[in-house]
A = this chain, B = another copy of it.
Amino acid sequence: MIQATVFQADDYGPWTVTPAPRPEMDLQILQSRLYAEIAGFVGDREGYAFYTRGDNVVGITNGIDRDAHERLQASLGNRYPVTVSVGIGAGETPATALSEASSQLRAAGSAQDETRTTICRGETLETETGEVTVGHFDIENATGRLTDRLDAFEAYTTIQQWYGTLARRLYSDHDALAFFVGGDNVVAVCPTLDRAIYHDVIEYVTDQTDVPFRVGVGTGTTAREAGMAAKHGLERGRERDRDVVLVDQPPTPSV
């Protein structure tokens, strides 16, 4: 079972243009800082948070209870000019968990409802029942193939197309949620999937985009545990030149 959280800035769009449009760099800094706060808080509790739209941040929050979510909301409210509402959901797959979290949030009112402020809705999971699988993907020799060869925008759009194709395939066929995390890295939160499925996904996406890549897959009771195992799997795949490495247990403490 997966627990997901949607963090949504309250009435943010209107705020960015009231009383007049605010300078873009101020908004970018605000969004980056707000995300870093959420990532720090969630990460500190073994979860993962992904930037996505900046005003909507997606968390995988197994093991983080409602009280912790509310504490984060209170702390952000004490230090930022905008407040954040929260929807929490649990599900058999990452996609169903996030869908439930999104429903909870929508049920509390529109993202641009002026009266919806610092709402926290939804049910958290019993810690024991949770299990997270993370697939950490990266491109084979991205530096030689892209960074050192193309210009910065071409490399970026090539990676974005690869990411988009990968993310849509994982979502539509496998209920997995994939996020671009910078460089040439994609972190996907997945249900339990056979090794063959990862091979198929890689084959399909490489066919479509002409980008060869690998994946390390790890499982754990939290996103962090699963993600660290996945990273070790990816390293092992690089050393042994294998496309898919599944890791059951993290080989070393994750600090």
Give chain A's interface residues, CB within 8 Å of chain B: 6, 8, 12-13, 16-17, 20-33, 35-36, 39-44, 48-49, 51-56, 58, 70-71, 74-75, 78-81, 95, 98-99, 101-103, 105-106, 110-112, 142-144, 147-153, 155-157, 159-161, 164, 167-168, 171, 177, 181-184, 187, 224, 227-228, 231-232, 234-235, 252, 254-255
Contact yes or no, B152 A6, CB < 8 A: yes
CA of A86 to CA of B233, assembled, Å: 32
Contact yes or no, B20 A252, CB < 8 A: yes
Which B residues touch A147, using CB under 8 A?
A: 8, 56, 110-111
CA of A152 to CA of B51, assembled, Å: 11
Contact yes or no, A27 B232, CB < 8 A: no
In this complex, what residue of B is CB-closest to A7? B152
Which B residues touch A153, using CB under 8 A?
A: 52, 58, 95, 98, 171, 177
Give the oligomeric copy count. Answer: 4
In this complex, what residue of B is CB-closest to A99? B151
Contact yes or no, B26 A36, CB < 8 A: no
Which B residues touch A152, using CB under 8 A?
A: 6, 8, 52, 56, 58, 98, 101-102, 105
- Which of A78, A98, A106, A142: most chain B CB closer than 10 A? A78
Contact yes or no, A36 B32, CB < 8 A: yes
CA of A250 to CA of B28, assembled, Å: 20
Q: Which of B21, B32, B151 contacts A39 (CB 8 A)?
A: B32
In the complex, besides A24-B48, A24-B227, 15 extra interface pairs with C-beta distance below 8 angstroms are: A21-B232, A21-B234, A23-B43, A23-B228, A23-B255, A25-B48, A25-B224, A27-B182, A29-B36, A53-B182, A54-B181, A98-B151, A106-B149, A111-B143, A157-B168
